[in-house]
Chain A
Amino acid sequence: MSRNTHSFLRSVILLGFGLFIIKLLISGDIQKFIAPRMMPYMYFALAVIAVLGLIQFFKSDSEEGHACECGHNHDYSSSKTRSILVYSLFIVPIITGMLFSDHVLGSSQAANKGFKYELRTASADDDNYSNSEVSEGEEDGTETGSDPVHQSEEQDDPAILSTKDRYPDLYEELSSADRFTMSEDNYIGTISLLEEEVDQYIGKEIKMNGFVFREDGFPDDRLVVGRFGISCCVADGGVYGVLVQGDGQNFDQYKNDTWIEVTGTVKKVEHNDWELPMIEPTEIKTIDAPKEPYVYEEFEFAG
C-alpha cells in the first residue's frame, strides 16, 4: 500500500472515531461508558482527533510523502494483509460502538463484577478478619490515643473522612427525615451511610429504584435492587444495592434486570453474619429503565 493510501485511510478512521464520539455526545450514551467527571477529557480527545484527522487528510493529498528520518518505525506497512488487519482493529470498535452504544450492564455482570454481599458469602474467614480488625482498633485507640483512623471512628475527628463526613448534608438530611427518596445524586452516598450504621436509620421510609437481581438460593420473597456505580469508566463499575425482603410475598414477577421502584421501611438483617440494611417493601412498581442507568462516584479532587 502506498503512503498516500495509508494517510487517507487513517484520516477516515480518525473521522470515524470523531463521529463515534459525537454520536455518543448527541445521544447521551457517552454516560454509559464514561463518568461525567471524565467528560473534559473526551472533548479534548475529540478536538485532537479532529485536528489529526484533518492533518492526515491533507497529508494524503500532498505530493511527496512525509519523509522523516527520525528513527521511529511509522509502520506504513507495505503488506496489504497486515495493513488490513491493523486497520480492522481500529474499525471494529467504531462499528460495534455505533451499533451497540445503548447497551447497559445488568444482573449477569452484577454477579461478575463483585456485588458486595455475594463476595462476603464466598469467603470463609471474612468473619475472623473483621473481628481482628475491630479489636486491633480498640487497642490502638485506648493505648496510644494517637491513631487517627480510630479516633475518627470514635470522636469524629474532622480531619478524617468517615462516610458521614464525606456526605455531611446527606447525613443531616437522612438522619432527620422520616421519609427519604433516593436519587441518582445521592444513591451511592445513601447506600454507604445505610451500610455504615444501619441502626441509626431503622424505621425510616425509603424510596429507591434500580434493577432487580438475585443471588443463587434466594427465597421467593427476597431480591436485591441496585444500580451500577461508576468512578471513571464502566470497567471499574461496581453494584450498589439494598436487599429487599418481603414477608412471604412472591417476587417472581420481578425478573432479573427489571427496573423497579421500591418504597418501604428500613430494617436490619443478618446476612451471612453481616449486618446489612434491608427494605421491607410496602409498594413495588415496575418502571422504565432510566435514561442514565448508572450512578457516579462523586469525589472532589483538589486540583
Chain B
Amino acid sequence: MYQEKSLNNKWGYILLFLFFLLFIYGDLFPAELITEVIPSLLDMNTIFLSIVLEAIPFVLLGVFVSALIQSFVKEETLERFIPSNPILALFPAVTIGAIFPVCECAIVPIVRRLIQKGMPLHVGIVILVSAPVLNPIVFLSTFYAFQTDLTIAWARMGLAFIVAIIVGGIIYSRFKNSWQLKEPEGLVRKTHEHEHRNKIAETFYHASDEFFDMGKFLIIGALLASMIQTFMDRELLVGVGSGFFTGPAVMMGLAYFLSLCSEADAFVASSFNGLFSSSSILGFLVYGPMTDLKNTILMAAYFRKRFVISFVAIVTVVTYIITILFDLLY
C-alpha cells in the first residue's frame, strides 16, 4: 500500500510543478499552432472557460449553503415549516424560490440536501425550478433587456409561477414522495452525531467533497454547451423558428443547449426580439432557467437517471403548452 501511495503522490507533485510552470510561462505558448488546425477551437475554449469561471462562485455558494444545511438544519425543523397537504405545500415552495436569488447552478445541491433532510420531492423540485427564474435579480435584468415591452418581464414571472406549480403537481402525482436520489434512503435520514469534530470543520469537508462531486458535471456541461455555441449555425434556427408552433420549440431548444445563466439570458433573448414572437421569447426565458443541458447533467449527479429524464420531459411539455396558451390568449 505504501508504495502505491507514494507513486500517486509523485504524480500529484508533477502536476503541482506543471501548474507552477504554466502559471509563469503559460502565455509564451504559441496559440497560432492551434488556430491553424481548427480555427474555432480557441473560441470554444474561451466560451467553455467563461462558463466554468462564471459558474464556479455560484456552485461554491450552493455547495456551502448545502453543507450548512447538512450540518445545522435538523429534519424536524424542516417538517414543521412544510404544510402536510401536498398541494398546499407547493405555494410556500414557490415563495421560497422567489425570495432567494439563487441561480440554477447553486440550487441543485441545495435542493438535493433539502430532499435528503426530508423535504417532499415535489416541493424540492418546485424550489429547483422556481428559484432561478422567479427572483428579483432576474426580474430586473429582464426588465432592462426588454425596456420597450414590459409585458415580457411580467409575463416571464407569471408564466414561470404557473409552470412551477404545474410541474410540482405532476411530479407529485407521478412520483408521490418516492426516493429519487441516487444514494440509498436509510443512510441519509439518520442524523449522525460527530461529537468529536466541530461543525465548522465538518461544513468545510462537506463543501470540498461536494465541490468535486459536482464540479465534474459542471465541467462536462460547460464543455457540451460551449461546443454547441461555437459550432451551431444560428441561421438555420431562425429559418425554422418563425412558425406558430415551431417558434417556441426552437427557442426552448436554444435555451436548453446554450445553458446560459438566468441572470444573463434576457440579454441574449433580446437579440432575438423581432425575429421571434413574444411567446417564443417567453418560452426561452421561462424554460432556460428551469432546465438546460448543464443543469440536466448537474442533476444527474444526484438524482436517479430515470427521474432526471422524466423531470426534463415534464418541464419541457408544460412550458411548451403554457407558452402556446399564452400566445392564444394574449
Tell me the A residues contacting B by CB distance below 8 Å.
1-2, 4-5, 8-10, 12-17, 19-24, 27, 30, 32-34, 38, 41-42, 44-45, 48-49, 51-52, 55-56, 59, 66, 68-75, 86, 89-91, 93-105, 108-109, 112-114, 116, 118-120, 122-126, 129-130, 148-149, 153, 160-163, 166, 231-236, 238, 297, 299, 301-303
Contact = CB atoms under 8 A, between A and B. Distances in A.
Would you call the interface of chain A mostly helix, strand, loop, or mixed? helix
A210 to B, nearest CB: 17
Given A33-B49, A33-B50, 9 more contacts: A2-B1, A20-B23, A23-B26, A99-B29, A153-B148, A232-B261, A233-B261, A238-B271, A299-B144
B242 interface: yes
Interface in B135-161: 136-137, 140-141, 143-144, 147-151
Interface string B27-60: 1010100100001101101111111111011101
Interface string B120-141: 0000000000000000110011
Contacts of A301: 137, 140-141
A119 B264 CA distance: 20
A33 B242 CA distance: 32
A16 B18 CA distance: 9
A69 B192 contact: yes
Interface in B187-215: 187-188, 190, 192, 194, 201-202, 204-213, 215
A152 to B, nearest CB: 8
A5 to B, nearest CB: 4
6 contacts: A101-B49, A120-B274, A123-B275, A160-B147, A233-B51, A303-B101
Interface stretch (B76-84, B162-170, B232-240): B232-240
A166 B146 CA distance: 12
A70 B206 contact: yes
Given A9-B12, A105-B46, A166-B147, A33 B53 contact: yes
Contacts of B60: 44-45, 48-49
B187 A33 contact: no
B100 interface: no
A12 B53 contact: no
Contact of B150 (A100, A160, A163): A160
B53 A42 contact: yes
B225 interface: yes
A112 to B, nearest CB: 6
Contact of B265 (A34, A112, A123, A236): A236
B26 A10 contact: no
Interface string B208-227: 11111101100110000110
Contact of B258 (A52, A56, A235, A238): A235
B150 A55 contact: no
Nearest to B189: A71
Interface stretch (B3-11, B86-94, B320-328): B3-11
B54 A232 contact: yes
Contact of A119 (B26, B39, B184, B272): B272
B267 A108 contact: no
A51 B144 contact: no
Contacts of B177: none
Nearest to B51: A235
Nearest to A95: B22
